[in-house]
Amino acid sequence: MKIRCNREHLADRLSQAARAASTRANLQSAAHVRLTAISAEQPVELAATDLEISLRVPLDADVIEPGAVLLPAKITPELVRALKGESVELEAGTDGRVLVTAGTSSYTLYGLPVDEFPQLPEIDHERSFETDTAAFVEVVNRVKRAASRDESRPVLTGALVRFEADRLVMAATDSYRLAVAEVPLTSAPPEPLEAIIPIKALEEVVRLASAGTGSLTIAIGEGLVTFGVGDNWLSARRIEGQFPNFQALRPDSIEHTISIAKDELLETVRRVGIVVRQNTPVRFALTTGLLSLSAKTADVAEGAESIPVAYTGAETIEIGFNHEFLRDGIESVPGDEVKIGLISSLRPALLESPDGSFWYVIMPIRI
């Protein structure tokens, strides 16, 4: 195999594909990017997988000699980017070695035999449908931070993605907070569909979409979901299991509701959070006409601020929150205002957009 390519283009596409490569030491073959050059008439393909997600990326290159090769995912993008000159040549021998040349530079990469690369899933075009890229990206960005990173609870490391007749609903939770977002769709599947999709895969779709335009193609199969953004194709294993009934987790007995300008509340939370250490909570105290926020870390610092609010209740509510979870929830609310619903110091609080398209449940910390 031998190809010639623009160096910066190759470095960018290698970096993109390498994001799907495995970083686990026991998956040596999956720690590579497969480069496949079938013929001069067909695009070159870069592919990588960690056995949970796989990514296929097209590459514009001149195919001098068809073939395929495995390139080490960790160093190849960095090496190509560091070379001088506009173009670079990759030439592979039969022993897995790849000669990389650009100008007067010459490097040899020690790859693996191509037949050791994991088999990639087939793309089920018959089950595919197109939907709104911007709408999909928006809901992913609003819920992704609420997903768990604890691999011992696989279901919570994904988001429940539900396509209905005219809207997309997405939910994520780590059991300490829950984010739910919905957005209207102008293009949806012919019948309702839902799947639990790894957050890692959804974040990668957002990255791909940020560089492209047009519709997003999705195919949801029995154990696999595939996303097409332009000529890029990402496949991910669906997470099996029962996602929590998120509608039942929404507090339904809110007793105290206030509306606050989002930017003012967010900046206040950020400032008060500066003194938070070792998971000390940010305290809310809701009194007549005033929301007070405070935090204290012993032997470090303490601080307090107040925001005028339209609250006329006689009861004072004091409640503590994890600073990071609170900040994430406020940042995720669309629009200029945040509605906050409180029940008591020991019950979950509800952050919501005025139009109800996003809501965020956050568990309290005992103070």
Tell whether 150 and 60 lie within a shared domain: no
Do residue 269 and residue 239 come from a single domain? no
132 shares a domain with 242: yes
Q: Is the pTM of this model over 0.75?
A: yes
Number of Cβ atoms within 10 Å of the Cβ of 104: 7
Q: Which of 116, 135, 168 is the last residue of a domain?
A: 116
Is residue 14 predicted with pLDDT exceeding 90?
Answer: yes
Looking at 193, 212, 246, the residue that finishes a domain is 246
197 φ/ψ angles, rounded to the nearest 5 degrees: -115, 135
Whose tokens are 């339904």? That residue is 252
In a domain, 367, yes or no: no
The two three-digit tokens of residue 346, written as one number = 């020991």
Expressed in angstroms, the distance from the first to the final Cα of the chain is 66
171-224 pLDDT per residue, tens: 999 999 999 999 998 877 878 899 999 999 999 999 999 866 557 999 988 899
Asked if 74 and 169 sit in the same domain, the reply is no
The owner of tokens 């670079």 is: 88
**81 in the same domain as 106:** yes
Tell me if 359 sits within 8 A of 185, measured CB to CB.
Answer: no
Residues 55, 89: one domain?
yes
What's the confidence (pLDDT) of residue 213?
A: 54
**CATH code of 175's domain:** 3.10.150.10
Residue 308, in any domain of the structure: yes
Buried-exposed string 306-334: b where 16+ CB fall within 10 A, e elsewhere: eeebebeeeeebbbbbbbebbbbbbebbb
Answer yes or no: do 155 and 195 share one domain: yes
pLDDT digits (tens, 9 = 90+) for 279-303: 889 999 999 999 999 999 888 899 9
131 and 241 belong to one structural domain: yes
How are strands ordered across the β-sheet holding 158-163? 193-198, 158-163, 167-173, 177-184, 358-362, 349-352, 337-342, 256-261
Claim to verify: residue 227 and residue 185 sit in the same structural domain: yes
> Residue 282: which domain range?
250-362
User: Has residue 30 been placed in a domain?
Assistant: yes
129/242 same-domain check? yes
Three-point CA angle 114, 118, 122, nearest 5° = 110
Q: Final residue of a domain: which of 229, 246, 263?
A: 246
State pLDDT tens for residues 74-83: 999 999 999 9
If asked whether residues 82 and 149 sit together in one domain, one would say no
